């Protein structure tokens, strides 16, 4: 088990592994997104209350899920990096951060677009939207802190600590915002009360969610690969690779 872990942790081995599986994941991702979008936007029935505008759920919900998931990945990798000083974990965290921020932004933008037909306003201080907004701030802070260090090893450690502080705070922020929201908002406003969703709408949603996850993996792998090349530029295996490819 540990030997396997150790081998994967070597940047060279991870690079080769990512190189092999990325195209397969990319193909699978493209199929899932295409079928999911088709079934979601064309095949799934129109919603009784919300009409066609509910279809934004097929982008909004997967990106909101991913925004949380990517932060968890970053926090997990940060913990591994701080404990075992494993370079790969730091690279994965670094590669994931802008993508997580992008997913968060997408969730916010689609939430706002969805809010216009549902609430009649572009922005509602709804508990979930507000939590997403704060999550975006956390991502921006994480990236800003890492970028501010001239010494990249110190920056990586500092960012890792911040990610762990953030992950402790995320549930606290989430529940306090929810509490704040129920305290201040009159109940008359339409709320998305996790209504039971029909199976014909649920299946495309799950396909989109899986597609988003694969999209993240494909991009994360390719970003990680280029970061590995950048950091290991002076090692012999990178030089050999470059020569093989006539670069």
Give me the residues that bind another protein (CB under 8 A), please.
Answer: 82, 134, 137-138, 140-141, 144-145, 148-149, 153-154, 157-158, 161-162, 164-166, 168-169, 172-173, 176-177, 179-180, 183
Nearer to another protein, 76 or 149 (CB): 149
Smallest distance, Å, CB 131 to another protein? 10
Task: Record the tokens describing residue 92, joined without a space.
Answer: 């994965």
Alpha-carbon Rg for the chain in angstroms: 21
Is the CB of 95 or the CB of 159 nearer to another protein? 159
Between 30 and 173, name the residue whose CB sits nearer to another protein. 173
CA distance 15 to 95: 14
Alpha carbon distance 74, 86 (integer Å): 13
Length of the chain: 247
| Pair of tokens at residue 175 | 């529940």
Nearest approach, Cβ of residue 74 and another protein (Å) = 15
Q: CB neighbours (10 Å) of residue 23?
A: 10
Task: Choose among 74, 73, 78, 86: nearest CA to 228.
Answer: 86
Name the minimum Å distance from CB 63 to another protein: 20
**In the bound complex, what is the minimum distance in angstroms from residue 100's beta carbon to another protein?**
15
**Integer distance in angstroms from the first to the last C-alpha of the chain?**
37
Closer CB to another protein, 113 or 134, in the complex: 134
Name the minimum Å distance from CB 153 to another protein: 8
Nearer to another protein, 183 or 199 (CB): 183
Between CA 162 and CA 176 the distance in angstroms is: 20
């Amino acid at each position: 088990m540990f030997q396997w872990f150790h081998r994967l942790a070597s940047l060279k081995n991870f690079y080769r592994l990512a190189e092999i599986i990325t195209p397969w994941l990319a193909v699978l991702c493209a199929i899932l997104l295409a079928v999911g979008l088709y079934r979601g936007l064309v095949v799934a029935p129109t919603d009784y209350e919300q009409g066609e505008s509910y279809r934004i759920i097929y982008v909004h919900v997967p990106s909101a899920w991913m925004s949380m998931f990517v932060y968890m990945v970053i926090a997990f990798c940060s913990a591994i990096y701080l404990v075992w000083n494993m370079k790969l974990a730091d690279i994965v965290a670094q590669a994931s951060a802008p993508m997580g921020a992008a997913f968060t932004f997408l969730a916010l933008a689609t939430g706002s677009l969805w809010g216009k037909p549902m609430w009649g306003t572009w922005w509602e201080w709804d508990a979930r939207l507000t939590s997403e907004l704060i999550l975006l701030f956390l991502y921006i802070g994480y990236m800003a802190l890492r970028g501010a260090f001239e010494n990249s090893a110190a920056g990586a450690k500092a960012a890792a600590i911040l990610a762990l502080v953030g992950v402790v705070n995320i549930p606290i922020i989430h529940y306090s915002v929810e509490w704040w929201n129920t305290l201040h908002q009159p109940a008359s406003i339409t709320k998305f009360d996790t209504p039971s969703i029909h199976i014909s709408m649920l299946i495309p949603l799950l396909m989109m969610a899986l597609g988003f996850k694969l999209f993240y993996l494909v991009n994360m792998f390719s970003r990680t690969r280029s970061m590995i090349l950048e950091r290991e530029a002076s090692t012999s295996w990178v030089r050999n690779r470059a020569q093989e490819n006539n670069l």
